[in-house]
């Protein structure tokens, strides 16, 4: 589904890579948490999957396509298979709930009939059936995030990327969002979620990938926010043989 092969991402003007030789495979239908401190490379990972960025080194395959071979003209069509949700919802403030979701279908050329059927369905699924005519500012944060999720999944993508979707929400609302994401995952969609929310990760018991300074330090099935397993000890480099003339 998603395969990273020795992927390094260097941003210009920064000597420290955002991702450093990351190798990772995510299978169809998996639910994966990406955890790590701010700046550890979680967002870069998601941006690379979306092909908003290209890797400096290494190969990325998503949905059987080698992203480095994807021409920029084909990127939009590739993205139609991916749904994305952000911490800040990114809804259009002057459009109603229905129109926000419909917009994402209109701009990829779906027919009016399809939109009239698909949008109410997906709004019902995320639990907003009675609020289709509201404007985003009339909704609570949790409801706004549900609209964003509805927009991301209305086209039935195979992969859902969520960048700290509960970052702006209180614990109870977050739990509701997680139930929703769980349901989406149960439907066969691969979900990758970057988060700082330890409670959620511990509760869900799903695959956890931890990044520190752009490197994967843990990849654990049914893991928690902090590892329960023994920490991996990195072997100390062997002492250099002492001698003259080799020291720097």
Q: Which residues bind another protein (CB under 8 A)?
A: 50-52, 72-73, 75-80, 82, 84, 90, 92-93, 103-104, 106-109, 111-112, 151, 155
| H-run or E-run covering 180 | helix 171-186
* Cα 64 to the center of its chain, rounded Å: 18
> Of 162 and 208, which CB lies nearer to another protein in the complex structure?
162
**Contacts for 215 with CB less than 8 Å, ≥ 6 apart:** 19, 20, 21, 22, 41
Distance CA 53, CA 43 (A): 11
Closest to 30 in 3D by CA, of 220, 225, 188: 188
Judged by beta carbon, residue 81 or residue 168, the one nearer another protein is 81
Please give the Cα distance from 141 to 89 (Å, whole number).
9
Q: Are 177 and 89 in contact (CB under 8 A)?
A: no
Of 126 and 208, the one with the shorter C-beta distance to another protein is: 126
CB of 75 to another protein, least distance (A): 4
Question: Please, which residue, 16 or 80, has the CB nearer to another protein?
Answer: 80
Q: What are the start-end ranges of the E strands in 36-156?
A: 57-62, 65-66, 82-86
Strand partners, 218: 210
Closer CB to another protein, 92 or 186, in the complex? 92
Q: How far is the CB of 80 from another protein (least distance, A)?
A: 4
Report, in Å, the least distance between residue 51 CB and another protein. Answer: 7
Residue 147 C-beta: closest distance to another protein, Å:
12
Q: How far is the CB of 109 from another protein (least distance, A)?
A: 5
Considering the complex, what minimum distance in angstroms separates the CB of residue 100 from another protein? 9
Compare residues 154 and 208 and give the one whose CB is closer to another protein: 154
State in angstroms the smallest separation of the CB of 64 from another protein: 17
Nearest C-alpha neighbor of 128 from the set 104, 94, 106, 153:
153
Nearer Cβ to another protein (59/81): 81
**Contact residues for 163 (Cβ-Cβ < 8 A; gap 6+):** 42, 43, 46, 84, 85, 86, 87, 194
């Amino acid at each position: 589904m998603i395969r990273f092969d020795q992927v390094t991402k260097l941003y210009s003007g920064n000597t420290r890579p955002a991702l450093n030789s990351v190798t990772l495979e995510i299978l169809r239908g998996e639910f994966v948490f990406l955890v790590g401190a701010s700046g550890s490379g979680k967002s870069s990972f998601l941006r690379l999957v979306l092909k908003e960025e290209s890797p400096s080194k290494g190969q990325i395959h998503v949905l059987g396509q080698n992203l480095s071979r994807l021409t920029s003209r084909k990127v939009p069509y590739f993205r139609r298979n991916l749904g994305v949700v952000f911490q800040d919802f990114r809804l259009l403030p002057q459009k109603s709930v229905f129109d926000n979701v419909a917009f994402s279908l209109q701009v990829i050329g779906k027919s009016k009939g399809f939109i009239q059927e698909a949008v109410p369905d997906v709004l019902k699924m995320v639990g907003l059936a009675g609020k289709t005519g509201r404007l985003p500012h009339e909704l609570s944060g949790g409801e706004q995030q549900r609209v964003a999720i509805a927009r991301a999944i209305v086209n039935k993508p195979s992969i859902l990327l969520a960048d700290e979707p509960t970052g702006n929400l209180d614990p109870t609302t977050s739990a509701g969002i997680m139930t929703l994401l769980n349901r989406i995952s149960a439907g066969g969609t691969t979900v990758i979620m970057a988060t700082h929310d330890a409670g959620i990760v511990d509760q869900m018991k799903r695959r956890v990938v931890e990044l520190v300074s752009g490197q994967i330090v843990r990849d654990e099935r049914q893991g928690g926010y902090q590892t329960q397993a023994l920490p991996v000890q990195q072997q100390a480099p062997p002492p250099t043989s002492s001698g003259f003339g080799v020291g720097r």
